[in-house]
Amino acid sequence: MIVMSRPGRLLIVDDDEGVTQTFAGILRLEGHQVRTAGNAQDALRETEEFRPDAIILDLRMPLVNGLGFLYRLRERDERTPVTIITGDASLTEDALTEIADLGADVCFKPIWTEDLHELAERLLSRA
């Protein structure tokens, strides 16, 4: 079991409500404050209102994808740690480099409960 170093403020951004609610529920049980957003526009609004310590972000979303959100976020916030979670195993080295250059990590699905705990701890340790 993971021992939580400190509770944090986490934003989960994913267009799949089942994913956001599942992740949020798991992280809330660990004592974290969690908000969710189903699209990039709502997520940007949440970053202003909620001021998360870290963001867990889906890559493939309609309209503005995770990378588009990350570019918009970095225009005004260069520090908040972000991990992109994706099931897209076909990401190119160029795409992975672009994401890294924007200060984000990539984690591939499936994500299990222990993985999510470790991810949250890793993100919050960088906050």
Categorize the per-residue pLDDT at 1 as very low, low, confident or very high, splitting at 50, 70 and 90: very low
The pLDDT assigned to 2 comes to 45
Q: Domain residues of the chain, as ranges? A: 9-126
Instruction: Record the pTM.
Output: 0.93
Residues 6 or more apart whose CB falls under 8 angstroms from that of 67 comprise 59, 84, 95, 98, 99, 102
pLDDT tens per residue across span 27-63: 999 999 999 999 999 999 999 999 999 999 999 988 8
Q: What CATH number does the domain located at 9-126 have?
A: 3.40.50.2300
Sheet holding 82-86, edge to edge: 33-37, 9-13, 54-58, 82-86, 104-108
